Amino acid sequence: MAVNVAVVGATGAVGDLIRKVLAERHFPVKSIKFLASEKSAGRTVEFAGKEYPVEPIRPEAFAGVQIVLSSTPSSVSKEYSPIAARAGAVVVDNSSAWRMDPDCPLVVPEVNADQLHHIPKRIVANPNCVAIPLCVALKPLHDLGRVRRAVVATYQSSSGKGAKGLADFDAQLRAFAAGGPVPAPTAHRGQLAGNVLTLDWTLDPNGYTEEENKVVNETRKILGDATIGVSPTCVRVPVRVAHSMAVTAEFDHPVTVAEARKVLAEAPGVVLVDEARGEVPQPLHAEGTDHTYVGRVRKDPSHPAALSLWVVADNLRKGAASNAVQCAEELVKRGIVG
């Protein structure tokens, strides 16, 4: 069944990709409109071979809309997502504003799509770009042996800071490659070219960054288990697109590598990569895809009931835009909208 759609934040990096993913996946659009800030209003964007005007975000723009796909700063989301919901739409919101709200499901369709049947505020939260692929990889393992603790070290690309981050990194990279002085950072919190940054996010009072705390809290909510221990270290690395992570999962009983590989190979959204054939998940492979690539599955020699693995996914697609569109697809497929 075709539905009326609005894309909010349509001219931003994720909003632009949402538009492309909707077309790629042949989402059942009856009508569509694209909303953005006043400074972007009046521009045109292309969708499915047609040009559409960009309209300013305002309450009356949500009249008749059934699904809103929103990617705006949290402050804008807090104002307009409830307005869209009151107008009758279900909002899939990509900001961090609603993720820990108990009345807003935090959804990764391969993991907990059933949560879409209970949306008290009519707002579905799209998770953090690390939590999404982490949970896609952990879910089959959690079902197999109940994950008690996950130690996670991330290797996050520049594009996690959006278009401004990429422009910043590219300018640094050109200067670094030329052997000249590297310009001062404008989006990242330090020089990223030829370097790594573990404080590229705001530091919270508990000594962890806001990004690390998101990984802890969102992983527990998505997997529906508040008892899971999560120990994260988030690091920005000189890669343009796709986040990687080293994960060690401790189970409540020993799980063999063969058992883990079997459930991962069968898991929705996962592409299991075989290092025995010289294959290892890499950002270059993940970029532009909607899969979560998993490899290097091996026993942890320091713990009898733990396995280590390597996970890679495109942070702009599966980590943001594509996951949001998948949520919208589930809303239609399950008859929640339409």
Q: Measure the CA–CA gap between 314 and 284, rounded to whole angstroms.
A: 9
What is the chain's percent helix, strand, coil content, to nearest 5? 35, 25, 40
For residue 88, the model assigns a pLDDT of 97
Please state the pTM of the whole predicted model.
0.96
Is CATH 3.30.360.10 what the domain over 131-315 is classified as, yes or no? yes
Q: What are phi and psi for residue 107, nearest 5 degrees? A: -120, 130
Mean pLDDT by 10 residues, the chain (338 residues): 96 92 97 92 90 95 97 95 98 97 98 98 98 98 97 98 94 94 95 97 97 98 97 98 98 97 98 89 96 97 98 98 98 95
DSSP state of 30: E
Q: Which residues contact 137 (CB under 8 A, 6 or more apart)?
A: 247, 264, 270, 292, 294, 309, 311
Q: In whole angstroms, what separates CA 267 from the centre of its chain?
A: 18
For residue 13, the model assigns a pLDDT of 86
Q: Measure the CA–CA gap between 283 and 155, rounded to whole angstroms.
A: 10
Catalytic residues: 129, 243
* CA trace torsion 217, 286, 271, 136 (10° rounding): 10
Q: Which CATH superfamily does the domain covering 3-126+320-333 fall into?
A: NAD(P)-binding Rossmann-like Domain (3.40.50.720)
Question: Domain ranges in the chain?
Answer: 3-126+320-333, 131-315
For residue 165, the model assigns a pLDDT of 95
